[in-house]
Amino acid sequence: MTLLRLAWRNVLRHRRRALLLSLVVGYVTLAVLFMLGFLDGYGESLVESYARYVEAPVVVAPKAWWQDPDPQSGFKAPFRVDHPGVLAQTPRLALPVLLRSPYKAHGAEALGVDPGGERALSRVPSKVAEGRFLAGPGEVVLGYRLAERLDVRLGERLVVETGRKALGLRVVGILRAGVSNVDFAGVYLHLEDARSLTGVWATHLALEAPRGQEEALAQELNRRLPPGLEARGIWSLMGPIRADYEASRLFYLPLLGLFLFLAAIAVASTAYVSVRERLREFAVAESLGLAPWRLAGQVALEAALASGLGLAAGLLGGYALLWYTATHDVFGPLMRLSAELLPEAGLAEHLYTAVRPGYALVAALVVGLSALLALLFPGRLLLRMEVSAYLKEV
């Protein structure tokens, strides 16, 4: 306790110096918090997009369909997954089609859905900007950008062709989901219509899983499902954009480590000057019986306290910044441009940073690093100190 009080007093002896160090450590803490929040926010936005709009938390399909996603590789007969971890499930039928409006033709992958089952799993039904979601066969709902390209409006008819069969459907809803795949390419028709076009029951089963347990549930199901079927969790369903997320983590995490290290160097550098200024003081303390390793420990404690001040300031500023970017659409323009550029990537138009208490622990590494470096460099000065030489100084 005495050591702590002594260290604290020494930190406060040079307030300007302590303030400067706080600025360095605070800045690094803020950068670490923001970057971690941004990366996690990006990941969460991708999970949200794919789990609630583009795919589902977990998807079960015949292995043949995963290899060759043609309707003919789908389920020929009704199938249901019985597992307590599955909170809801609904069959879906994905089919490649040619859409023909009175003015234009367009190729797309249509999704045959059961409107009731879909509401339990997906947010798409709640994102109808004009009209309504599907109520029965003979209807189709389109993403707004696709509707613009096809030049179709609510109430108009659209021909859906598969090459073997065709159906005339009425446009009953226009979607505005804020997720690129839905808005640019979303085509939803009733499951019964999709079945009549393809002759199969469904291509895959979409399952609801507890948040964060999607991959575990998929693995568990893979142990229990009949042979020939395979379950995939949300991260496996994501496609190429997952690589961008993983690459961002691989790139930024070492960079954050470097930031923390540089801040710790600044702290150790200040501690070095502070020790050199006080060598006589330390010599007196040692001659009075304080062991050199305890003196070195005191220096490490001072470094930890000085960086702790900056950490506290950085945490305050960092969490305030994260709170702001988690509640305001700061990255909206950037995300909208990215979605425009990569319409098939499944990017959402909005990105909000994540706010997690665990970031503080990562940022707190700077305190440990500072103490370690202070022990290694200025601390070593004390361990090598010739007490008699400094006591003789005038």
Which residue of 7, 11, 18, 28 would you call a contact of another protein, by CB under 8 A?
28
Residue 329: CA atoms inside 13 Å, Cβ hemisphere, count? 9
Q: How far is the CB of 342 from another protein (least distance, A)?
A: 6
Torsion angle of C-alpha atoms 164, 56, 69, 159, degrees rounded to 10: 20
Tokens of 287: 């001659």
Q: Could you give the C-alpha distances from 376 to 11, 269, 292, 297, in angstroms and in order?
A: 19, 11, 13, 10
| φ, ψ (nearest 5 deg) of residue 298 | -65, -40
Q: How far is the CB of 279 from another protein (least distance, A)?
A: 11
If binding is defined by CB under 8 A, does position 72 make contact with another protein? yes
**Which residue is it, tokens 């006589």?**
280
Which residue of 3, 23, 154, 216 would you call a contact of another protein, by CB under 8 A?
23
If binding is defined by CB under 8 A, does position 215 make contact with another protein? no
If binding is defined by CB under 8 A, does position 163 make contact with another protein? yes
The vertex-129 CA angle with 125 and 135, nearest 5°, equals 40
Q: How far is the CB of 250 from another protein (least distance, A)?
A: 6
Within residues 253-312, the interface with another protein by CB under 8 A covers 259, 262-263, 265-266, 269-270, 272-273, 277
Residue 42: CA atoms inside 13 Å, Cβ hemisphere, count? 20
Q: How far is the CB of 3 from another protein (least distance, A)?
A: 22
Q: How far is the CB of 84 from another protein (least distance, A)?
A: 33
Residue 17, C-beta contacts closer than 8 angstroms, at least 6 positions apart = 270, 274
The mark string for 167-206 relative to another protein (x by CB under 8 A, - otherwise) is ----------------------------------------
Q: Please state the length of the chain.
A: 394
Which residue of 7, 11, 18, 24 would you call a contact of another protein, by CB under 8 A?
24
Q: How far is the CB of 103 from another protein (least distance, A)?
A: 5
Largest separation between any pair of C-alpha atoms in the chain:
102
Within residues 235-264, the interface with another protein by CB under 8 A covers 239-240, 242-244, 246-247, 250, 259, 262-263
Nearest CA to 307 out of 2, 1, 29, 9 is that of 29
DSSP assignment letter at 226: P
Nearest CA to 49 out of 355, 338, 378 is that of 338
Within residues 131-150, the interface with another protein by CB under 8 A covers 149-150
Closer by beta carbon to another protein, 87 or else 247: 247
Nearest CA to 39 out of 334, 356, 315 is that of 356
Closer by beta carbon to another protein, 129 or else 247: 247
**Which residue is it, tokens 């997690």?**
356
Stretch that binds another protein, among 66-74, 114-122, 210-218, 294-302 (CB under 8 A): 66-74
Within residues 327-366, the interface with another protein by CB under 8 A covers 337, 340-342, 344-345
Tokens of 174: 């226009």
Q: How far is the CB of 213 from another protein (least distance, A)?
A: 24
Q: Which residues bind another protein (CB under 8 A)?
A: 14, 16-17, 20-21, 23-24, 27-28, 31, 68-70, 72, 96-98, 100, 103-108, 149-151, 161-164, 239-240, 242-244, 246-247, 250, 259, 262-263, 265-266, 269-270, 272-273, 277, 337, 340-342, 344-345
